[in-house]
Structure formats: C-alpha cells, structure tokens
A and B are shown apart, each in its own frame.
Chain A
C-alpha cells in the first residue's frame, strides 16, 4: 500500500524553526516528485513547495509566501522528504501535508499540525 506519514509538527514561537518529515512506503520513492501543501485552520489548501526526482535534477520550487524561509529536501535512501521551516510567522500556522506527483497529487499523508504562536 502506498503510504505517506508526516511528522515533526508542534507549537513553535514566531521566528523559530521547525523541520517536518514525510516518510514514504509502498513505492519507489526516488522515482517521484514530492510536494508539501498546507491548510490553515478553517481555510483552503495552499501549495507550499515541490522537489523533483533526482532523474529530473532534484531541483526545488517554492510558493512566494515561503520562498527564502522554507527549504524542501529529500533523502531517497531513507524514502523521506523534509521541509525545513525557518523564520516562522503566525500565518504559517496550518496542517502540513506531503504528497506525491507533479500535475496531480496522490496519495496525501494524514498531515501534521504546525502552530506558530508566542
């Protein structure tokens, strides 16, 4: 079964950092691009970041709202995607989901809640 499991969320103060992990199983992780999305409480979905597979250079893309603060990476040997979140703001408070794909996304992990508050 293809599965994605996020971890690393929690309560953090503004300006601090947090690293999220997305552990994959059930498929050849290195063959796929991976993305992070988020959903603020009571709000809609927002794309955050994207990383290509190594076959396509492993390069990265970011939404304007997080560019320069967040860093996406991957460890294909461990089947894990990461999202390093720096200089966190209160508006980064959301459930963060990881997912697989390029033009459409499936499956999605269960999400991990990040709360940025003093």
Chain B
C-alpha cells in the first residue's frame, strides 16, 4: 500500500480538463510544499511535470498545473491530448530526507 492515495484511474475526452488527486497526511503533503508529479508511459522512465506543488519545469506546457490544499495535492491537465494518456505519480517529501509516492493514476483519453 502506497503512502499517498491516488485514484486508480481518471478519464477525459480530447480538449477537456481532468484533475487527479493525491492525498497524504500532515506528515508529508500537509507539511511541505515539496509535492512533485511525474508522467510515465508504459515501459519508460518517469518524467517530471510539476515540482514544488505548482511549478512547471522548462518545456512542460501550461496545460499542466498543480495545487495543494491541506493534505491533498492535485494535478490538472487542461486541453487534453491523446499523448497525455499515461500513468501519473505524485511524490511528497516526508521529512528526514525520505520521500513517499502515490500508487499512480492511469489517465485515459477517450
């Protein structure tokens, strides 16, 4: 069982927006603004999409956005595209130089 809770799957049609959640505790998500999100295609390495809750690395389109409220972080993808279909993992710093992940959310673009 993963430390952070993510929905197993979400779906949306091209052009729509989807939001996926990542629920932790007051010891991880709730305590630190060090939530990051990773996109992973099957058989490929994870790729950073969001860091520090809501910042986008260079090259990541502004269709990807992140937020946090209390112990829950969220990733929103707007203007869904076919190649957004992938697994998405949230990660939070949990103090004492340890990190925890969610179990991953499979995004299906209908």
The answer on a CB contact under 8 Å between A97 and B101 is no
The answer on a CB contact under 8 Å between B103 and A44 is yes
The answer on a CB contact under 8 Å between B36 and A104 is yes
* A residues contacting the other copy or chain, number (CB 8 A): 18
The answer on a CB contact under 8 Å between A45 and B98 is no
Most buried by A among B45, B57, B102, B104: B45
A89-118 CB mask vs B (1 if < 8 Å, else 0) is 000000001000001111111110000000
Segment among B9-17, B73-81, B89-97 that sits at the interface with chain A: B89-97
Q: Given that A44-B2, A45-B91 are known contacts, is A104 also in contact with B48, CB under 8 Å in the complex?
A: yes
Counting chain B residues whose Cβ lies within 8 A of the other chain, the interface size class is 20 to 34
The answer on a CB contact under 8 Å between B103 and A106 is no
Give the A-B contact count at a CB cut-off of 8 A.
58
Asked if B64 lies at the interface with its beta carbon under 8 angstroms from chain A, I say no
Least CB distance from A47 to B in Å reads 4
The answer on a CB contact under 8 Å between A108 and B93 is no
- Please indicate the chain B residues that have their CB under 8 angstroms from the CB of A61 in the complex: 96-98
Least CB distance from A51 to B in Å reads 10
- Please indicate the chain A residues that have their CB under 8 angstroms from the CB of B100 in the complex: 47
The answer on a CB contact under 8 Å between B102 and A103 is no
Give B residues with C-beta under 8 Å from A.
Answer: 2, 32, 34, 36, 38, 44-48, 51-52, 57, 89, 91, 93, 96-104
In the complex, 12 of the A-B residue pairs with CB atoms within 8 angstroms, ordered by the A residue number, are A45-B46, A45-B89, A50-B97, A61-B98, A97-B45, A103-B34, A104-B34, A105-B48, A106-B47, A106-B51, A109-B45, A111-B45
